[in-house]
Amino acid sequence: MSNVIVLPQTNQLKGLYTIIRDRNTKRSDFIFYADRIIRLLVEEGLNQLPVEPAAIETPTGAAFPGVKFQGKICGVSIMRAGESMEQGLRECCRSVRIGKILIQRDEETAQPKLFYDKLPADIDNRYVFLLDPMLATGGSAAMAVDVLKERGVPEERILFLNLLAAPEGIKLFTEKFPQVKIITGAIDDCLDEKKYISPGLGDFGDRYYCI
């Protein structure tokens, strides 16, 4: 699984996850600590982008063989929960373009349904950071990648950033899209009978936006 990148499991990261997994964490803390993890995911996504040589001169007059990013990027959030990751991307990439795909998972069947998409016109020329905090069955993210591919984005230019992934979702997703990079903060044990990630953190969208 060379295209699955898990953030280094530092003590700091484990502590952040402990807070957001805790059912007793109040919403303001959930938002604050989830945002900190999101920032780490975005930074790791940027680490994965290719660079090209960029020679510069420093204030001392010395030449320095630097690098710069090779391509342009954009974000695409899977609404609703994916929108929580937009600010973290904006903090790292000023005035980044952001597209939206509204996909909702049916609460009974866990099947995804596509309602809407609005994407940058030149998305086929960009690296795409696909944003959704939860990779459970993988159905929603796979549907979003289908939309991106229909718009001409090659798989190898898609990086899917999520906070929590289930093995079942990773399997489905990597078999369908072997060239898309998954960047996650944690891989959990399994899905439960309601197709929620276990041990998980519950419903991310509800905890970030509602309860």
Partner that binds at residue 168, options ligand URA, ligand PRP, none, CB closer than 5 to 8 Å by kind: none
Q: What single-letter DSSP state applies at residue 166?
A: -
Coil, strand or helix at 23:
coil
Answer yes or no: 192 catalytic.
no
Q: Write the DSSP assignment of 42-69 as a string of letters.
A: HHHHHHTS-EEEEEEE-TTS-EEEEEEE
By the rule CB under 6 A, 134 interacts with ligand URA: yes
Which residues in the 22-61 window bind ligand URA by CB under 6 A? none
Answer yes or no: 109 catalytic.
yes
Answer yes or no: 124 catalytic.
no
By the rule CB under 6 A, 203 interacts with ligand URA: yes
Specify the residue, 62 or 210, whose C-beta has the smaller distance to ligand URA.
210
Give the other-Cβ count within 10 Å of 211's Cβ: 11
Burial grade of 193 (CB within 10 A; 0-12, 13-18, 19 or more): exposed
How far is CA 153 from its chain centroid?
Answer: 16
By the rule CB under 6 A, 200 interacts with ligand URA: yes
Specify the residue, 85 or 134, whose C-beta has the smaller distance to ligand URA.
134
Annotated catalytic residue: which of 22, 29, 106, 109? 109
Specify the residue, 120 or 205, whose C-beta has the smaller distance to ligand PRP.
205
Tokens in use for 11? 């003590």
Partner that binds at residue 207, options ligand URA, ligand PRP, none, CB closer than 5 to 8 Å by kind: none
Query: Whole-number minimum distance, CB 42 to ligand PRP, in Å?
Result: 17
User: Which residues are registered as beta bridge partners of 69?
Assistant: 51
Specify the residue, 80 or 181, whose C-beta has the smaller distance to ligand PRP.
80
CA 121 to CA 17: how far, in whole Å?
36
Answer yes or no: 18 catalytic.
no
Query: Whole-number minimum distance, CB 198 to ligand PRP, in Å?
Result: 13
Partner that binds at residue 200, options ligand URA, ligand PRP, none, CB closer than 5 to 8 Å by kind: ligand URA
Under the rule (CB under 6 A), what is the footprint of ligand PRP? Answer: 78, 80-81, 104-105, 110, 112, 132-141, 169, 195, 204-205
By the rule CB under 6 A, 168 interacts with ligand URA: no
Comparing C-alpha atoms, which of 103, 40, 95 is closest to residue 73? 95
How far is CA 92 from its chain centroid?
Answer: 14
Rounded to whole angstroms, what are the CA distances from 92 to 20, 69, 85, 207? 22, 13, 12, 24
Q: Catalytic positions, please?
A: 105, 109, 203, 206
